[in-house]
Amino acid sequence: MEEKLKSSLKNRRSNYQEALEGPHLGEVSKFYSACRNGDIDTVKQMLLGISYDQLNQLEPNGSTALHAATYFGHLDIVRLLLHEYGCQRHLRNHYGFTAYELAQTEEMRQIFHRPSNKNRFNDDSMAFEQTFRRHSSSTNKIVMGSNIDGNDVAKSNQRFYVGYETNEKIKKQLDSINSVKAFFQSRAGRYIMKQGMKLKLDKKAGYSEEEYAYIASEEFQQKSLKKILNEDVTSNHPDYKHCCHLLNEYIQQDTIESLLKLYTLETPFYRSLLKSSSPLEFPLFMHLSDLKERYYQGYSYRGVQLTQQQLNEYRWALKNRDSVLSLLTFESTSINRDVAEQFAARSSSSSSDKISVLLIFHFPQPCDTAINLIFIIYWNLIRPQKRFYDDFRRQGIPGEPFVPFVGQLPEMRRASEKDAGAEYRMGLAQKHGYVYLTGFGPTIRLSVIEPDMIADVFSRTHAQDYRKPSDMKKFFKPLIGSHNLLVSEGVEHERARKMLNPAFHFIKLQSMISIMVEQTIKAINELLLLSSEEKFVDLQTELNALTLTIIASSAFGKGFETIANAKQIVCRAFIEVLEAMEYRTIRMIDYIPLIAQLPYWRKDILDQGSREISKFVDQIIADRRHEKSSSLCSGDDLLDLLLSAVDAQGHKFTDQEIKDQALTFVAAGHETTGNLMTWTMYVLMTNKQVLQACRDEVDRVLSNGTEPTYEHINELVICEAVLQETLRLYPPAPFLERQCIREHYIGSKGNRQVRIPAGAKVLINTYILHRRAEFWPQPLEFDYTRWLRDPVTGLKPKLTHPFCYLPFAAGPRNCIGQNFALVEAKVILALLVQRCNFEIEPGQKIVPDVRITMQCKYGLRAKLSKRL
């Protein structure tokens, strides 16, 4: 049989030699002739003008230019075609040979071995430690020393056992992946993808004509891919041209062929494309049904060089029923055995004790891992987070199980539905301690509730090692844009902070007191009227509307009230947009870019509200510019400062920055202060002694119905203490999150330290932090006296730890508007206590809703009456 195969192969080579050397030159292209004849100057000149398809086309004689150049031994031309122009080396001629198989010398064959920066097969071990994972529940019972094939295997290092601990866990993970896969292969999944593409290119999606023209253009389609290309190759590199050609071809023809060529192209940016393959995910999903025809059936091969120990461990993993091979085992295989054998046989300079190994994998049935779309999701979403998870677990950090895609989000939702969201999070701290791991959707978060470690995250010494998470910018962008203090980073943030600091100076705050007083008195009168008509009103809704009116008036001045129905329009839009954002976040809608674009899950509310707010602010800014140019305005509000502020180089804010900063001030300030006032009113109505203490102080400072001034506000020390204690027990922002950008250690030397890898996210839960008994005597008791000054020294009380109380964050990125918020809260509290009596609705359920902000889940219903 072997002799018969050799004879057949010899005949094929002989026939092909006749085809190459026969009189066919008149039938082939000029480029093919130049490659065949070794005319490298002509080849270089023609390469500048031919398309990628022409480069790889089969000529009438059944061969490609690469086949001809290889067979006739033109090393420089082959090197040029392969390494600089990404010529497809896997193409077979009419006789079934690849160009590699026609190489006549070892020197020629070596050219086909990819350099290390391009090679998928180059790493000898291919992260051997991750090749297989132990998932048996009996980890401590099985020892790799069972004399497999006569070779003793030493007891395995525990590094091979970090993957899964039980069969149930791996089954849960595989079930999750298969569910996602099945969904996207279903009719409903494909329909959703198509609707997403349609929405993206549909004029009815709410885009202007200019925006639509850009989105519908080829430039938009190529933008993401070009970004990847530019990481590894320059824009004038031949690979760049070929990739753009393939992408254009896909856009014009909408077929899978050019897309697959692009995805499998052997070019220097291959690894970058793998790590950031999102530009290809959507089109590949669009053609998911077409890919079924391309599932692979047969054999694949992988050539590696391993030590004897590694080989024995590999054999043990393959034979042991309680082990599972990972995707890394298969990602570097070839359907061409000769290629794999060459990689197995090449010499290794790294170690002399390695042996050549050929791994053969058999796929008896059509297998969809030939083009594994689930692996794309794995690479982008699961794999990086699993690495963070494993990294922290190796450091001894406890946590909840790693669950791909969803993490602990289902448990959080179930707890919230049972009105136990806060208790669920407190339970995690009791279970794992104050440093532990959880998964929120596809993202792993390191929860840190230790003040010493928090100090390292927020302090000025180490703050430069962290930034706001990238998904936070994505989350808030529909409402406040991206050029603002909340989400900007680096030089942009530092510049804006310096330019905005004067707006929150105490002198500026004094001028805003009158706005706060005026709007609060109006709101109180409306509340009293509403209470006379209804038995009970929702104070949470009314106080949020009041703080929004105050902060919008402080930001936009009289312009806010000159626009018809401004208060109603802005209040409704802000509330609806924020609710839609929270709704989509808890359901992970915005974590999946394709799904996020669909007109479902309150997307229409989000878009409509954002447009209304944007239009409103654009009108106010335009009116103010007109007034300033006509000398009709000498405003003293935030908008006036934004229009006139200059940086150290004399540059002003751009129009977009003005808009984003103003919206951020309104969005970030109104709901947090509104929630603070809601919880304060709840405390006062359920604690008569605290209410009486506030009332006595207000009556003394603001006697005979006096309206508060800045001087009065500073005298309301009990009111301030009540607000501080409310902030402790009910922090408006219960979560503070940062993302590490440089590897960094947190924790004091000599004690426990944790290494934070770059890219990992750190979450500080202030709700739990503010209730730790180590830092707060009787932590669950409302005790405003802990904030009062010492009657003898007049000094404010000192915190047990400077980072155990963080209602406004800390460090260089603390809340710039915290003084404004406290002054505003004292004005509202003083006037409410001065002018109203309150009565809470009996029997209502008060539940802290731990989300983006700390709200009363079911509102706070109460009856107000005028105080005589």
| Single-letter amino acid code for the residue at 515 | I
Helix, strand, coil tally for the chain in percent (to 5): 55, 10, 30
- Using the predicted structure, report yes or no on whether residue 83 has a pLDDT greater than 60: yes
pLDDT at position 496 over 60: yes
User: Can you tell me the distance from the alpha carbon of 686 to that of 354, in angstroms, rounded to the nearest whole number?
Assistant: 76
**Least confident among 262-271, 533-542, 624-633:** 262-271
Name the range with the highest mean pLDDT among 266-270, 388-392, 482-486, 501-505. 388-392
Task: Give the pLDDT score at 254.
Answer: 64
Mean pLDDT value of segment 657-677? 89
Q: How many CB atoms lie within 10 A of CB 791?
A: 6
pLDDT of residue 242: 67
pLDDT at 264 over 70: no
Q: Is residue 480 very low, low, confident or very high in pLDDT (cuts 50, 70, 90)? A: confident
Does the pLDDT at position 19 exceed 50? no
Between 271 and 735, the more confident residue is 735
Residues 6+ apart with CB under 8 A from 309: 153, 154
pLDDT for 164:
38
> What was the pLDDT predicted at 767?
96
What is the pLDDT, as a whole number, of residue 438?
Answer: 96
* Poorest-pLDDT segment among 4-8, 340-344, 661-665, 667-671: 4-8
Looking at the predicted structure, is the pLDDT value of residue 761 above 60? yes
Report pLDDT for 196.
53
Stretch 644-654: mean pLDDT, rounded?
A: 87
Please, what is the angle between helix 278-286 and helix 218-232, to 10°?
A: 130
Rounded to an integer, what distance in angstroms lies between the CA atom of residue 783 and that of residue 786? 6
Question: For residues 508 and 504, what is the distance between their CA atoms, to the nearest angstrom?
Answer: 6
**pLDDT for position 484:** 87
Task: Work out the mean pLDDT of the chain and round it to a whole number.
Answer: 77
Domains of the chain, residue spans: 2-111, 116-379, 395-480+734-777
Contact 65, 32 (CB under 8 A): yes
Residue 701, pLDDT above cutoff 70: yes
Q: For the segment 66-82, what is each residue's pLDDT rounded down to a tens digit? A: 999 999 999 999 988 88
Lowest mean pLDDT among 297-301, 651-655, 660-664: 297-301
Does pLDDT of 207 surpass 50? Answer: no
Kindly state the DSSP code that residue 705 receives in the 8-state scheme. G
Q: What is the pLDDT of residue 33?
A: 92
Q: What is the model's pLDDT at position 311?
A: 78
Residue 317 confidence (pLDDT):
65
Q: What is the spatial distance between Cα 516 and Cα 681, in angstroms, rounded to a whole number?
A: 18
- What does each C-alpha distance from 857 to 379, 557, 601, 723, 728 come to in angstroms? 38, 32, 21, 20, 18
Contact 799, 805 (CB under 8 A): yes
Overall fold of domain 2-111: 1.25.40
Higher per-residue confidence, 802 vs 186: 802
Q: Give the pTM.
A: 0.65
Residues 466, 738 contacting (CB under 8 angstroms): yes
CB 296 within 8 A of CB 367: yes
Q: Per-residue pLDDT for 386 more than 80?
A: yes
pLDDT score recorded for residue 301: 83
Tell me phi and psi for residue 92, to 5 degrees.
Answer: -110, 145
For position 629, what pLDDT does the model report? Answer: 66
Query: What percentage of residues in the chain have a pLDDT greater than 90?
Result: 29
Report whether pLDDT(138) > 70: no
The residue-averaged pLDDT of 562-581 equals: 77
Signed CA dihedral, 797, 802, 806, 808: sign only:
positive
pLDDT digit string, tens, across residues 155-205: 433 333 333 344 565 566 656 666 666 665 566 665 665 555 444 444 444
Residue 126: predicted pLDDT: 38
The beta strands (E) that lie in 52-143 are given as 132-134
Region 759-774: mean pLDDT is 95
Beta bridge partners of 850: 854
Residue 120 has pLDDT above 60, yes or no: no
User: What pLDDT was estimated at residue 48?
Assistant: 77
Arithmetic mean of pLDDT, 99-118: 76
Environment class of 778 (CB within 10 Å of its CB; exposed 0-12, middle 13-18, buried 19+): exposed
pLDDT tens digits for 811-821? 888 889 899 99
CA distance 456 to 465: 10
The pLDDT of residue 804:
96
**Residue 554 and residue 509: Cα distance in Å, rounded?**
10
- CA 457, CA 450: separation in Å to the nearest integer? 11
Residue 855 reports pLDDT greater than 80: yes
Share of the chain above pLDDT 70, in %: 69
Task: Give the range among 126-130, 192-196, 474-478, 708-712 with minimum mean pLDDT.
Answer: 126-130
Say how far apart CA 554 and CA 9 lie, in whole Å: 85
Query: Tens digit of pLDDT for each residue in 352-379?
Result: 678 888 888 887 877 765 555 555 555 5
Confidence of residue 58 (pLDDT cuts 50, 70, 90): confident
Q: What is the pLDDT of residue 221?
A: 46
Can you tell me the mean pLDDT for 85-91? Answer: 76
Average pLDDT over residues 533-558: 86
